[in-house]
Amino acid sequence: MISTINVTKSYTGQNGTITVLGRVNIKVARGDFVAVIGRSGAGKSTLLGVMGGLLKPSSGEVFLDGKSLWQLDQRARARVRAQKIGFVFQNASVIRSLTVLENVLLPQTFLPKPVTPDLSRATNLVELMGIESKIHAYSDQLSGGEQRRVAIASALMNNPSLLLADEPTGDLDTETESEIMNFFLDLRRRGTTIVMVTHNYQLACYADRILEMDSGSIVELSPRTEACKSSDFSSPLPNESQANTEKESRF
Ligand code: ADP
């Protein structure tokens, strides 16, 4: 589905050059749910930006469905992004002047061919995220958690095959956190590929694979279940039957 080949990213400033990503090679198969963990500043968001076609690598390639993302011109890359990739940004990217419903519908306007707004899908996504009572509210009427739910619904609007999520649960309470993680498990069961960046080792245990980043290098923690039993990951493994199948059937 998506792979990075020898991806590097450096920044040059007044104090010299810093290397944020050093020859990162990862391969994510279709339908995988992969967590990328690591301390703050390890390069996780940078990696996600490069994989999502938002941040140009200094060298290396990113292949999405066999096509080199960074060999495409800007317009073609934007088209691929709109059609295939849903991005949940670290700071829930909700547009203040739009309502919840309008925010969720917005990604349709980025599709290469104009489409009739799919109100039914947008409404379903809003319901699925449990914010239907706020569907016509503006962002200043929403809590941080509700804004994050809007951002996730919006990222899913174009039915992306790849969801890239940067700290999707941010500073949310643990109940909302596990609801969102169970929702990701539902998505994964339907075939959506997910790459989630988090500094939270416990959340990473919801994923099928865990990659750990440190100073721009990446290693796979293997096997994942063993890692999740260690003291760093002190939460129990999630039970997939917790996932809400009633909500699932409406999606
Ligand atoms: P993480 O997501 O793991 O917290 P980031 O990918 O956000 O880490 O950042 C990795 C490092 O890259 C940090 O040290 C950060 O300061 C640096 N960095 C990110 N963007 C830039 C930039 N535009 N210019 C210079 N340094 C940057």
What is the span of the domain harbouring residue 64? 2-248
Report the separation in Å between the CA atom of 185 and the middle of ligand 1, taken as the mean of its atom positions: 29
Q: Can you tell me whether residue 220 is helix, strand or coil?
A: strand
What pLDDT sits at residue 231? Answer: 58
- Minimum CA distance residue for ligand 1 atom 26: 11
The count of other CB atoms within 10 Å of the CB of residue 29 is: 12
Crossing angle, helix 144-156 and helix 174-189, to 10 degrees? 10
Cβ within 8 Å of residue 209, ≥6 positions away: 32, 33, 34, 35, 220, 224
CA distance 51 to 136: 33
Q: What digits encode the pLDDT tens for the residues 24-68?
A: 999 999 999 999 999 888 999 999 999 999 999 999 999 999 999
- Give the residue whose CA is nearest to atom 25 of ligand 1: 11
CA 51 – CA 45 distance, rounded (Å): 10
| Tokens read off for 247 | 């909500």
Lowest mean pLDDT among 18-22, 153-157, 222-226: 222-226
- Closest residue by Cα to atom 19, ligand 1, is 46
Closest by Cα among 240, 227, 101, 128 to 178? 240
Over the stretch 91-118, which tens digit does the pLDDT of each residue have? 767 888 999 999 999 998 888 787 888 8
Ligand 1 shell residues, CB under 6 Å: 11, 18, 20, 38, 40-46
Residue 244 reports pLDDT greater than 50: no
Residue-wise pLDDT for 68-83, tens only, equals: 999 999 999 999 998 8
The candidate with the shortest Cα–Cα distance to 216, out of 2, 6, 1, is 6
Reported confidence tier of residue 188, pLDDT bands at 50, 70, 90: very high
Q: What is the pLDDT of residue 120?
A: 92
Residue with tokens 């290397």: 19
For the domain that residue 240 is a member of, what is the CATH number?
3.40.50.300
69-102 in b/e form (b: 16+ CB < 10 A) is beebeeeebebbbbebbbbbbeebbbeeebbbbb
Query: What are the residues facing 209 on neighbouring strands?
Result: 34
Vertex 202 angle, CA 198 and 207, to 5°: 70
Q: How many domains does the chain have?
A: 1
Question: What pLDDT is stored for residue 249 in this prediction?
Answer: 42
Distance, CA of 156 to CA of 149 (rounded, Å) = 11
